[in-house]
Amino acid sequence: MINEIITRTETSIETRRLKIVVVILTIYLAVEIVAGYITGSLALIADALYMFADVFGISLVLVASIFSKKPPTPLHTYGFYRSEILSSLANCVILLLISIFIIFEAYRRIFEPRDIESSIMLIVAIIGLIVNLVGLRLLKGTHKHAEHTFSESTQEYNNLGMTDALHIQGAKLELFSDLLGSIAIIIGAVLIYYTNYYLIDSIISFGLALFIIPRVWYLLQRSISILMDSFSVKFVV
């Protein structure tokens, strides 16, 4: 009984933090889209697309987190905990598609460079850095209780050695990637300001996509492994 009360309290805190993160990211997303259009920076546009994936993905996390707590039914005898894995899987696919689009657009801009307002680009990237730090701070430690609250029917999930639920790991991956992206854009904006070498923007965009793809692919493999009930697969986080 005590464990059940603690679990519900932790889940409530987790859900509240996720909602706050969604609100913060949504506000910044709107700012970044406008800034990307004004500055002509593909790096900002790319970061905005990843931010959209963040908002969409974490919204899926919220829905899946609530849905997964539903009790088993005669039709779904093991409950709905796998809805969290499905949310992670869906978000991985979205991130891969965005990355492919950014790579093609960055390649095109190599041959069709555009003037970029580096000062606005720099300001928006600094704001993005702060936003992502706040988001990571809010998500820090969430769902650490997951491995203790699954029932015996979901024991194979625990056997994969995960300390965080997979959907929370996905949200953290997105925010951490955006954090690194903001740092890269800040550096790029400073270089563009002093050199007027606009190709830097395309290089940063390439870098963001190439950084994301292997990590998303790794998370995608983990999601599929769980859904397929893979055995004796060890993942190191």
Report domain extents, the chain.
1-137+159-231
Residue 150, pLDDT score: 40
Residue 91, pLDDT score: 79
What is the C-alpha to C-alpha distance for residues 220 and 77, in angstroms, rounded to an integer? 26
Tens of pLDDT, residue by residue, the chain (237 residues): 434 443 444 456 777 888 888 999 999 999 999 999 999 999 999 999 988 888 887 787 777 666 666 666 666 555 566 666 777 788 788 889 999 999 999 999 988 888 899 999 999 999 999 999 998 888 775 554 444 444 434 444 343 334 345 566 667 777 887 898 899 999 999 999 999 999 999 999 999 899 888 878 887 887 788 777 654 444 444
Pick the CATH number of 1-137+159-231 from 2.10.110, 1.10.3470, 1.20.1510, 1.10.150: 1.20.1510
User: Cα angle at 159 between 153 and 161, to 5 degrees?
Assistant: 135
Q: What is the pLDDT of residues 171-216, one digit of tens each?
A: 777 788 789 889 999 999 999 999 999 999 999 999 989 988 887 8
**Which 8-state DSSP code applies to residue 154?**
G
Q: Exposure pattern of 47-62 as b/e (b: 16+ CB <10 Å)?
A: bbbbbbbbbbbbbbbb
Closest CA to 181 of 118, 127, 107: 127
| Strand intervals (E) in the chain | none
**Which 8-state DSSP code applies to residue 117?**
-
Residue 53, pLDDT score: 83
Residue 161, pLDDT score: 38
Residue 3, pLDDT score: 43
C-beta separation of 135 from 86 below 8 A: no
136 burial (CB, 10 Å; 0-12 / 13-18 / 19+) is middle
What is the C-alpha to C-alpha distance for residues 171 and 80, in angstroms, rounded to an integer? 20
C-beta separation of 167 from 75 below 8 A: no
What is the C-alpha to C-alpha distance for residues 221 and 53, in angstroms, rounded to an integer? 19
Residue 116, pLDDT score: 92
CA atoms within 13 A on the CB side of 145: 14
C-beta separation of 72 from 78 below 8 A: yes
Residue 142, pLDDT score: 55
Name 65's Cβ contacts closer than 8 Å, sequence gap at least 6: 11, 14, 15, 18, 84, 167
C-beta separation of 8 from 71 below 8 A: no
